[in-house]
Amino acid sequence: MHAVDSRQTPAEAPQAPPPRHVSRRVRIRSQRDSRVAWLLSLPTLVILIAMLAYPLYRMIVLSFQNMRLRELFSGATPPWVGFDQYTKALTDGVFWGVVGRTAAFTVVSVTLSVLVGLGIALLMRRVHAKVRIFMMVAMMFVWALPQLVAAQSFRWITDSDFGVLNYVLTELGFDYATHSWFVNPWEGWAVITTLVVWAGIPFLAISLSAGLTQVPKELLEAATVDGASPWQALRNITLPILKPLLMIVTTLSVIWNFGLFTQNWALRDGHPEPVYQTLATFSYTQAFGRSNYSYGSAIAVITVLLMLGVMIFYIRQMFKIGEVD
């Protein structure tokens, strides 16, 4: 509608002197463009508001109340408790333990995935085209596997009674007959991290290998002619060119891994022990397991705030790339 209206504005009047006419037309055009832009993004905005902004608003409201099962059943407005839920979380040692664990896991898993992803991407530039296609297809399969399915598969692989891992290790002569991989939290987290890194590599390797095609061959050749070692070429030519992309994929990995839920939830069969709780599972257990809906919401809000730092970094990087283009 707006687009049609603007077309009929008197601005198009032929009497106007040429210079003014041009400048006005430019202004009108840009106004019309922005209206069209808004119109075109309207469906997306409506969906975003309905699916994201409103639930987020309700979650924030909920975190200032004390909603229990009784209120859920009766429909009564839960009592307002101000910052009580936040105070409860922020003064709870268990909560901070969960925050620390989630952060440590994020650092380790992201570092590993990015390093291995980059390594595979570099390898893909060097191998024969057929091998490259094979690697791509293999990674696509990993990528296509739903998280829950992958996690369940890992759960069965590492099962103490029926798992193939213990079977193979025992056949190889190690005493792993009924070894439980989740008794020792380090071993348990190694399994979870392996699963997350394994599932995260395809995205990283494929994105980075696409990025590597942007590194001009001539530069690398020139460097080789000038006597640069492969390591020097990587550090001084490839990585600087790859940096913006590397930043983005790393930030995305941080955001994804910080919200770890499916993997530790499924590997611990839906009831993770305290040492396997992350912020997401902790919030879920509080809200839906123990019907502390408000406390669960407060933890989710804190998680969102913690992520906001990383998010801002990500958005700034996106804008930077936009400017270069």
Give the footprint of another protein on this chain (CB under 8 A): 51-52, 54-56, 58-59, 62, 67-76, 160-162, 170, 175, 177-178, 180, 182-184, 255-256, 259, 261-262, 270-271, 273-274, 280, 283-285, 287-291, 293, 296-297, 300, 303-304, 307, 311
Nearest distance in Å: CB 56, another protein: 6
- Residue 31 or 291: the one with the smaller Cβ distance to another protein is 291
Nearest distance in Å: CB 210, another protein: 22
- Residue 157 or 220: the one with the smaller Cβ distance to another protein is 157
- Residue 117 or 296: the one with the smaller Cβ distance to another protein is 296
Nearest distance in Å: CB 197, another protein: 17
Question: How far apart (Å, rounded) are the C-alpha atoms in residues 274 and 285?
Answer: 11
C-beta separation of 212 from 204 below 8 A? no
C-beta separation of 209 from 131 below 8 A? no
Half-sphere exposure of 114 (CA within 13 A, CB side): 20
- Residue 137 or 305: the one with the smaller Cβ distance to another protein is 305
**Buried b / exposed e along 28-49 (16+ C-beta atoms within 10 A):** eeeebeeeeeeeeeeeeeeeee
Nearest distance in Å: CB 60, another protein: 9
**Buried b / exposed e along 205-228 (16+ C-beta atoms within 10 A):** bbbbbebbeebeeeebeebeeeeb
- Residue 87 or 178: the one with the smaller Cβ distance to another protein is 178
Neighbours of 286 (CB within 10 A): 22
- Residue 56 or 219: the one with the smaller Cβ distance to another protein is 56
Nearest distance in Å: CB 120, another protein: 24
Question: How far apart (Å, rounded) are the C-alpha atoms in residues 221 and 91?
Answer: 58
152-to-23, 106, 146, 202 alpha-carbon distances in Å: 64, 21, 10, 19
Nearest distance in Å: CB 234, another protein: 31
